[in-house]
């Protein structure tokens, strides 16, 4: 897995340009080969490689377009991790999670293969038994979308967003679904949220040229 530039510079994903510059200078001072050679004898043989990673991380995050790509990859990794956690916690939702992971890889709100009635029923039962579990609603809307129940899917996705309002992936998926359905009002609302929370590049990607 590629190294996360935010971890390399030790900054938050919402760090501004000044924070990035300060972090870059600090990491560069810490990892510069010349400094390591003066404070501890022979220079660390990996110092040059570490310094190059610091430089590469700063270059990625200081450019808005490449930073948007980094943010997008982070979102997908986090969403997949959350889905895997659901699979581990509830064997009844294994098939639904598999479909959802496929959607995340394709970056589309609709599923390419419809799940069975039993899979959809399992997703509905999950939300009935755990009505305040945003992850259960997330899986339910995907199953409903795959079954062609677009109206139900939209309502279930909205419920997931209401239960987990800071989940960037849910807002992104709701924006994608709104664009696909021609729901301009919802699409604008979600893209506004993304921009307000530091995901300008993602919002621009969703809104198109």
| Residue 159: per-residue pLDDT | 93
CATH architecture of the domain with range 68-207:
Alpha Horseshoe (1.25)
User: Rounded distance, CA 187 to CA 106, Å?
Assistant: 20
| Residue 111: per-residue pLDDT | 39
CATH architecture of the domain with range 5-62:
Orthogonal Bundle (1.10)
Kindly state the tokens that stand for 117. 């009635």
Give CB contacts under 8 A, 24+ apart, made by 136-142.
Answer: 136/86, 136/93, 137/163, 138/100, 138/170, 139/83, 139/86, 139/93, 139/96, 139/97, 139/100, 140/96, 142/96, 142/99, 142/100, 142/103, 142/111
Tell me if the pTM is above 0.75. no
Domain with CATH 1.10.287.110 in the chain: 5-62
| Residue 163: per-residue pLDDT | 93
The pLDDT tens digits for 85-101 are 555 555 544 555 555 55
Domain with CATH 1.25.40.10 in the chain: 68-207
- pLDDT tens-place values along the chain, 209 residues long: 567 888 888 998 888 888 988 988 888 888 665 555 554 544 455 667 788 888 888 888 888 888 888 888 877 777 766 655 555 555 544 555 555 555 555 544 443 444 457 778 888 999 999 999 988 898 888 888 888 888 888 899 999 999 999 888 888 889 888 888 788 899 889 989 988 888 888 888 877 65
Asked if 91 and 85 touch (Cβ cutoff 8 Å), the reply is: no
| Residue 208: per-residue pLDDT | 65
| Residue 178: per-residue pLDDT | 85
| Residue 41: per-residue pLDDT | 46
């Amino acid at each position: 897995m590629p190294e996360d530039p935010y971890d390399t510079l030790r900054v938050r994903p919402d760090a501004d340009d000044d924070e990035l510059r300060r972090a870059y200078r600090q990491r560069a001072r810490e990892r510069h080969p010349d400094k390591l050679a003066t404070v501890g004898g022979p220079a660390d043989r990996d110092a040059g490689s570490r310094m190059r990673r610091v430089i590469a991380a700063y270059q990625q995050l200081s450019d808005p377009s490449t930073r948007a790509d980094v943010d997008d990859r982070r979102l997908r990794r986090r969403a997949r991790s959350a889905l895997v956690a659901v699979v581990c916690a509830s064997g009844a939702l294994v098939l639904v999670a598999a479909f959802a992971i496929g959607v995340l890889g394709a970056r589309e709100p609709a599923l390419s293969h419809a799940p069975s009635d039993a899979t959809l029923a399992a997703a509905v039962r999950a939300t009935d038994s755990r009505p305040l579990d945003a992850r259960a609603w997330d899986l339910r809307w995907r199953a409903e979308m795959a079954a062609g129940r677009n109206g139900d899917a939209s309502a279930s996705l909205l419920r997931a967003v209401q239960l987990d309002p800071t989940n960037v992936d849910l807002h992104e998926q709701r924006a994608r679904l709104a664009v696909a359905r021609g729901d301009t009002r919802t699409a604008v609302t979600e893209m506004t949220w993304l921009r307000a929370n530091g995901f300008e590049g993602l919002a621009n990607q969703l809104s198109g040229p």
